[in-house]
Structure 1
Amino acid sequence: MIGQHHAKAKTLGPRAAQLFTELNERHRSTFTVADVEAITGLSAASSRNLVLRIQRNGLITRLKPGLYNLVPFELGWATEHVDSPYLIAQELVGTAPYFLSHGTALELHRMVTQPIFTICVSCTRRVRPQTVGGYDFRFIHIAPEQEFGVTKHWIDKERFVIVSDMERTIIDGLRHQAFAGGITEIAKGLWMKRDVLNVERLADYALRLGVGAVIRRLGFLLEHYGLAAASTLERLHVALTATYQRFDPLLPAEGAHVARWRLQLNVTPEELDAVRLG
């Protein structure tokens, strides 16, 4: 694809041809003005001018100031194209460690029953929410020691992004339900993938993260759905303090208290049981 761009770029001069050749070598379809400077050796102003000329010729699309992606050759005369939002997310975090997470990871692992439109990214760098190429991106700040439980998701044969594995996705959802469609969506994902999820790994991740509310919610769900051995439940149970937490922090503090897991169950048992029927 980029080789065909190279042929068209030759008419724009050697710098444009050099840019597309190097992007091809790096398997990059999304790039920044800083990349153009580094590849061509041009000044910032000259790099911006080069990008503007290439954009006018329909070879690239501007996603936001300073960020662009290539228009695939097979689109013919189209001059607007937005690449995979997952690759855009990778560009937005720069060199900082990151992984696609929460609702986005649920979708990538096919653990949802409804589409999720916000791209969620966990990152060790603080990045503001933004809309790029028509996609909404939300960034969840994590400490470096919280970067675990990740895997590769291949966009195509040459490009991949980092995503939380299924177990980490469940744990993150139990911590930040608002980014994952709510507690019942997490319960659905847990039930849908019950035959392939590693329950011991789920417990390991919850204890490693060390967030009491997550340990409580995971223990309760695993016990409610009969998915864990008694020894696994005990590992989670002994880590609890006397403090009570709401099962769903997005809902009011009402409902019965579950003493075993130090939880206020503010969703109905019927809602949780309905997950099995989905």
Structure 2
Amino acid sequence: MIVKYHSQLKTLGPRAAQLFTSVNELRKPTFTLADVRLITGLSAAAARNLVHKAQQRGLVTRLKPGLYNLVPFELGWATEHVGSPYLIAQELAGAAPCFLSHGTALELHRMVTQPTFTIYVSCTRRVRPQTVGGYDFRFIHITSAQAFGLSKHWIDKERFVMISDMERTIIDGLRHPAFAGGITEVAKGLWMKRDVLKADRLVDYALHLGVGAVVRRLGFLLEHYGLADASALERLRSTLTATYQRLDPLLPAEGSFVSRWRLQLNVTPEELDAVRLG
């Protein structure tokens, strides 16, 4: 959260009062100049002028050109305020289906020991990386068919955003380890939540996604940590082709080969076993 202070008195004129009352009633975490025009009926120039004056008086925070955030009155003399980055992420995605994923989901599910400083969002629309309100947002493009395995993450009693569930979070980490801290971090999350993760659901998700590298990595890790029975592992193995993939695509192509999973183990067994030690 970003908060700044000065001694200027906060006051509301009739137009500003109409705008902020409407924004609060709509439970919109942010609003645009188009929203201002729609609510107040002002022209584009008058809407910009209203928001500019409101910003000078500490009533709104400019997140980026054309996007603003209300400064709650309960913050007193605060003149800048950035609310939940997860709600901002949803706003940046627009109307396109999206959900918190990868390293952000790992952190929110408490599947990591180190925090991430980037907000990762999977979205069916291509959205460029950007920094808003001091937060870095990275959007991973997916197809509509890949928007599965989701749950609600509540921001407060009334507002929520969508997030990948624990199993989907692991699958996403196996597909794009770069957005989750690497394979060992994904393996750590898998081990940390071993008592609540459902192996059959992990297998279902991997097969539904249909990415061979994910199937290989999941099968190997489930077997290495003893987290799935033979039938679940065979469901994965039966789909393998002859192509080999690296266990961690971020690391060089070196290390032994495991024909059972068509993997090159460029992460040592000692590194994988260290995950069990927390």
TM-score scaled to structure 1, two decimals? Answer: 0.95
Q: Which moved more, 1:215-224 or 1:70-79?
A: 70-79
Is residue 59 from structure 1 mapped to residue 59 from structure 2 by the alignment?
yes
Which residue in the other structure is 2:275 paired with? 275
| TM alignment of 1:192-203, pairs within 5 A | 192-203=192-203
Find the aligned partners of 2:240 and 2:195 in 1 and give their Cα distance.
27
Distance 1:225 1:42 in 2: 62
1:174-211 CA deviation, whole Å, 9 max, x = no partner? 00011101110000000000111111111011000000
Q: Say whether 1:39 aligns with 2:39.
A: yes
Query: Which position in structure 1 is the counterpart of 2:236?
Result: 236
Residues 132-170 of structure 1: CA distance to partner in whole angstroms, max 9, x if unpaired? 111111000001111111111001111111111111000
CA distance in 1 between partners of 2:180 and 2:91 (Å): 22
Runs of 4+ in 1 over 3 A off after TM superposition: none
Instruction: Tell me the equivalent position of 1:223.
Output: 223
Deviations 1:75-100 (A, max 9, x none): 21111111111111011011110001
Q: How do residues 1-278 of structure 1 correspond to structure 2 at under 5 angstroms? A: 11-278=11-278
Instruction: Report the AA paired with residue 204 of structure 1.
Output: D
Write the deviation string for residues 15-46 of structure 1: whole angstroms up to 9, x where unpaired.
21121121121112322222212222222222
CA distance in 1, matches of 2:137, 2:223: 34
Q: Secondary structure at the match of 2:138?
A: strand
Partner of 2:5: none
- Aligned pair count? 270
Aligned equivalents of 2:106, 2:163: Cα separation in 1: 10
Q: 1:71 and 1:109 mapped to 2: Cα distance?
A: 29
Letter aligned with residue 54 of structure 1: A
Please state how far the C-alpha of 1:72 moved relative to its aligned partner: 2.1
Structure 2 distance, partners of 1:42, 1:68, is 17
% identical aligned pairs? 81
Cα distance in 2 for partners of 1:41, 1:72 equals: 24
In 1: Cα distance, 2:64 partner to 2:147 partner: 28
CA distance in 1, matches of 2:99, 2:210: 19
**Whole-Å separation in 2 of the counterparts to 1:185 and 1:86:** 22
- In 1: Cα distance, 2:32 partner to 2:55 partner: 13
CA RMSD in angstroms, aligned pairs only: 1.2
Q: TM-score, normalised by structure 2?
A: 0.95
Which residues of structure 2 form unaligned runs of 5+? 1-8
